Amino acid sequence: MALREARRDDVRWIVEMLIDDDLGKTREDLSDLAPYLAGFDAIAADPFNTQYVWEENGELLGCLQLTVIPGIGQRGLWRGQVEGVRVKGTRRGSGIGRKMMQAVMAIAREKGCAQMQLTTNKARKDAQRFYGQLGFEMSHEGMKAKL
């Protein structure tokens, strides 16, 4: 079992994971894969972004995106940011999410990050408990605006 970089032919599966979610099912549309593939290609072309999947015995069980954000503040602190963290519905609660997050936090450290960060919808109380157990503090408001 391991976190590995996603390949282009993992994209359909990744979108299925994003749909298998109370919030995700309202905002995804698998009838046209093109915008998802374009998103993957942009990630793959940027050394500061990586899409990962968690694979066990040839089966995909989880996914997340890591963005490395260089910065000036806090003496040149680099941040590792995760987005789209999902574990396959039938395998939730089995520790995959924790192993996947620990693996990506180790990768972020290797890439030079001294802080990990994420935002999670205020409705996702289970997620907030989960990240709390991994050492994340709910210190900030996460604010979003449509453009």
**Interface contacts to its own copies, rule CB under 8 A:** 11, 14-15, 18, 24, 27-29, 35-40, 42-43, 46-49, 51, 65, 67, 69-78, 80-81, 83-84, 105, 108-109, 113-122, 128, 131-132, 134-147
Minimum gap (Å) between residue 42 Cβ and its own copies: 3
Residue 17 or 57: the one with the smaller Cβ distance to its own copies is 17
Count, residues in the chain = 147
- Distance between CA atoms of 104 and 102, rounded to whole angstroms? 6
Question: Which CB, 91 or 124, lies closer to its own copies?
Answer: 124
Record the tokens describing residue 88, joined without a space: 């396959």
Contact 59, 75 (CB under 8 A): no
Q: Where are the beta strands (DSSP E) in 33-89?
A: 49-56, 59-69, 79-87
The least distance separating its own copies from the CB of residue 103, rounded to whole angstroms, comes to: 13
